[in-house]
Amino acid sequence: ASILDAGVKYGLIQKSGSWYQYQDKKIGQGHENAKGFLVANKDIAKAVEDKIKTESISKVLYPSDAIESGKALRLSQQYFFVSCAIQDIFRRFLEKSNDFIKLPDSVCIQLNDTHPALAIAEMMRLLIDVYGQEWDDAWNIVTRTFAYTNHTLLPEALETWPSKYFAHMLPRHLQIIYEINRRFMEFAREKFGENHEKLAKVSIVSGEGDHQIIRMANLSIVGSFSVNGVAKIHSELIKTSLVPEFYELWPEKFTNITNGITPRRWLLHANTNLATLISDKIGKDWIVNLDLLEKISDFAEDEEFVKKFTKIKKQNKELLRHEIFKRTNVALTTNSMFVVQAKRIHEYKRQLMTILQVIGDYLDIIKDNKKPAVAKTYIFAGKAAPSYNFAKLIIKLINNVASVVNNDPRTNDMIKVVYLPDYKVSLAEVLIPAADLSIQSSTAGFEASGTGNMKFALNGALTLGTLDGANIEIRECVGKENFYLFGLTEEEVQAKRATYNPRALYESNNYIKRILNALNSNMFCEKDYVLLFKPIFEELLNRDYYFVLEDLESFDKKMEEVEKDFLNREVWNKKAILNVARIGKFSSDRSIKE
């Protein structure tokens, strides 16, 4: 019966009244004849099955790569999208010229991380197999067309594929990649001689036999004319830490283009009232030239402007309060400070540190009757990768802490915790304009750039963050007095790496010990789940690769400073307005021009 209905859906079978019809034959009334029909007409079932399979390529975003079928679907998705894009680019180009040597004069393809790197092999395939180009000519075209933006410093996040997937799904592309690598390695040997360690690091193909893998980042670098990082610190670390051998080969390829955000979405559309207030004071040209926001710094102490600015923030907090109640049934007060950490859930981004600080505040209240200087609402939002179980345990911890804290009368609304499910752009447009404080707490040296930090500052939130990613440049622009800095620097992280002992820190620091003991108890566990968060406790004590415990007390002390400043509305409002005024550098218009 489901096959019959699917046949109707996909136009393979017609239905008239109670009868089903295949081509010119009536095949049954209702579903009673479906079994006999399917035996005789398996071609329809096969056609429907194929239709459903092909549609699955674009149905599921980010399928889990923890299982073989998920990996295969991801690779087929990547190939499908890059093939469509390249064929469309060629179609447009061929409307004006059939001389592919001129393609790079008209077209630049920016590889946004490694996921579209297959486009390099696909363009080679099309140029050679379909359009009859010689290898050298095709490679010359490709390497003048592609540019690669790296988005991560985590080596394990640089995409690799077992060659068996290519052999099964994309055998011609595997041939092309082998030939690209063969020729590239000849070039690399001219530079490195027989330095096997360096040659192994730059090779696109790694390993032997069943363990052979294709490194998509290496393919992206080899096939592109430009490789850029997305913040000053990130771009330097690419050259010195991530791929120094490639930098040695092609220093001229490597550049920095700090990320940007579009003011049309993240201020004009998402925060219309603030956009209108700004336009009333300085005109509308800022919409296409964000540097002009600097003019509103003249109004940072203007009584009327400040009054309107704070009223708009209050209205935005009211909108978010209603949205949160609708989604989570948690009632908030907008008089509290809205502390927001909205980003992908990952250990290096350290949402874990923020929720541990919340636990510290909660324990201060219930055990010592020590209350924070100002009521705070902690709002978390973000998603974890499908198979990233530790990140999902962090999400569980946040939700369980929220359940305990929000329902304890002893907190008396001094602390509220919210985890917003299904975070996406439409929700971000409500969340970001309402934030008072933006948490940007990644371990120094791990965040490529971040763009949430830019969106929050553009909407008048102050930043509590580390010297990492674009935080460094944001702090330079808005002024260090308008940015709450805490934590180790990248150099300090590297220096401490060999000797860091988180267990000794736990034993010697009562603040940290109390929080971790609560984490390792059943305080935040449902009754049927004993010691649910012990894996987090053990990870922090035995490894703490991202220095959560090392930076936790620094984070807490800086939060106390934030609370005191928030009580002084005159000081706080000036800082917030200057953040908006001085964030103009971080426009995507500038990024794209660069």
C-alpha distances (whole Å) from 437 to each of 340, 395, 412 are 6, 20, 21
Q: Which two tokens stand for residue 392?
A: 């999902």
Residues 123, 126, 127, 133, CA torsion sign:
positive
Q: How many residues make up the chain in this entry?
A: 594
- Looking at residue 121, what DSSP letter applies? H
480 part of the active site: no
Query: How would you list the strands of the sheet with 160-162, edge to edge?
Result: 160-162, 213-215, 205-206
Q: Which two tokens stand for residue 33?
A: 């004849």
314 part of the active site: no
Burial of 140 (0-12, 13-18, 19+ CB in 10 A): middle
Would you tell me how many other CB atoms lie within 10 Å of the CB of residue 522?
13
Please pick, among 144, 151, 232, 265, the residue that the annotation labels catalytic: 151
Please pick, among 346, 349, 376, 416, the residue that the annotation labels catalytic: 349
Number of DSSP helices (H) and strands (E) in the chain, helices first: 28, 16
Please pick, among 152, 443, 451, 463, the residue that the annotation labels catalytic: 451
Please pick, among 343, 350, 575, 585, the residue that the annotation labels catalytic: 343
Instruction: For 139-156, give the DSSP string.
Output: HHHHHTTEEEE-----GG
183 part of the active site: no
- Return contacts of 131-136, CB within 8 angstroms, 24+ apart: 131/90, 131/100, 133/100, 135/179
**Rounded CA separation 346/385 (Å):** 9
Please pick, among 321, 455, 475, 582, the residue that the annotation labels catalytic: 455
451 part of the active site: yes
Burial 314-326 (b: 16+ CB within 10 A, else e): ebbbeebbeebee
**Rounded CA separation 41/19 (Å):** 16
327 part of the active site: no
Q: Which residues are catalytic?
A: 151, 343-344, 349, 451, 455
